[in-house]
Amino acid sequence: MRPEKRHKLQLFYEILCAIEDDIVHNKVARPTHIQHNCRLSYDKMMNHVIELERRYLIYREKTSGLISSTSKGKKFVKQYNELIKLIESIGL
Amino acid sequence: MTAQESHILNPFILLHPSSATTTTIGPHHAAYGIITIGALPTSVLLFSLVVTVASIFLCSVIAIYFYRSYRFSGLGYLLGLPTGFIIIGASSEFEYLGLVYYSVSNESLYTLSFWVQLTLQSEGFALIALSYLLKDRAGEILKPRLFLDHLRPPPTELKDVLISILALVVISAPVMVTISALFVQPILNDTELKDLSLYTRMFDLIILGYIFMKSIVPLVKSANFKLLYVPAAFALLWLEQYSLIIIYFDDNSAAFIGSIIVRLFGLALFVYAIHYAISNSRNKGLEVER
């Protein structure tokens, strides 16, 4: 069965969570690990990573390519969690 | 303006001591309370003001929470909720204004306020219902769906068209019915206004019943019984409309007091449910950070 199309916000959230998860387990977040966690093609994942960087939600090192989430990115994850809880609570 | 007799349109007038003393049989219906327009005690006006301020405050809090969610997500179907609650808050304002016009014996503005209040309240409920009606059409979803949802066939074009038509009907009905009533007969007498209020309140009951069903089904499916506050809040708002219908048939001040209590309690429960859901997500966030 074809998987449900994910909303852009959900993809951003999953990428940011994957970054945090990778940092917790491996001390650093690598793009390939994030790609694996988010179940995205590398091209699509990189497009989203570029957009997240442009919005200052993540920071990417130029030389190593390692990724970390900014305080704005952490705030986004928090707000997303609140939104999901709110939507769930009203049955939407 | 000379003082004249008027049927009760604003239930707050039932709290006036003279409304309990005289009653008469109306031309089409059961008993209506007939009282002299004007000169309401300050305590009734003050009580109405407190109820109005509380309603507006609670509606505004709910609207702010949902507007923030809409601003964050950009999901159009979420906009129906804050707009609906803002309009319901505004309808409470007109309820109070009607009472003020009644106390200064301005009958035309008194009936106009009543008409605006009815229309706004129904429109508010219709906009909330629209959020639930359009959520399935949003296409992209934020949260992962349940396994049973994947087994359901995708919506057909015909279903999409029907939902669009239904959305238009739901949104336009409260305004169209009340405006058409004015076009057919520009000056509605109190009896006709009361009839109109019965029809709009029955519309509200249907809409709130729909919202209740739509809000409770996903929570029951996901066995999320801790979040049943919101369906309970909608059930209380349904009960408010039901109590107001009772007032139509039998000008009963106890039913009116009950309607105020369930309205305020329903709105407060809604605020609590939102606060509970959000604080719960914050606590979980803290646990993950640790």
First to last CA, chain A: 24
Contact indicator for B7, B32 with CB cutoff of 8 Å: yes
Q: Which residues of chain B approach chain A closer than 8 Å at the C-beta?
A: 65-66, 69, 72-74, 77-78, 81, 131-132, 135, 139-145, 150, 214-219, 222, 224, 227, 229-231, 273-274, 276-278, 280-282, 284-285
Contact between chains at B78 and A10 (C-beta distance less than 8 A): no
User: For B241-286, how does the pLDDT look when each residue is reduced to its tens digit (9 = 90+)?
Assistant: 999 998 888 877 888 888 999 999 999 999 999 988 888 776 665 5
Who wins on pLDDT, A28 or B59?
B59
Report chain B residues whose CB lies below 8 A from the CB of A73.
none
The runs of H, that is alpha helices, within chain B are: 42-73, 80-103, 107-134, 147-151, 157-184, 190-221, 229-249, 253-289
CA distance B98 to B120: 14
Contact between chains at A4 and B145 (C-beta distance less than 8 A): yes
**Separation in Å, CA of B207 to nearest CA in chain A:** 16
What mean pLDDT comes out for the span B115-140? 83
CB within 8 Å of A62: residues ≥ 6 apart: none
Q: Which residues of chain A approach chain B closer than 8 Å at the C-beta?
A: 1, 4-10, 77-92
Q: What is the ipTM of this complex?
A: 0.80
Query: Residue A37 — pLDDT band, cuts 50, 70, 90?
Result: confident
Sketch out chain B's domains with CATH numbers.
10-137+159-284 (1.20.1070)
Report how many helices (DSSP H) and strands (DSSP E) chain A contains, helices first: 4, 2
Interface contacts A/B by beta carbons within 8 Å: 88
**Separation in Å, CA of B278 to nearest CA in chain A:** 5
**Separation in Å, CA of B287 to nearest CA in chain A:** 12
Tell me the two tokens of residue B209. Answer: 């019943």
Contact indicator for B56, B38 with CB cutoff of 8 Å: no
Residue B125 burial (CB < 10 Å; 0-12/13-18/19+)?
Answer: buried
Query: Residue B8 — pLDDT band, cuts 50, 70, 90?
Result: low
Contact between chains at A92 and B135 (C-beta distance less than 8 A): yes
Distance of alpha carbon B253 from its chain centroid, rounded?
20
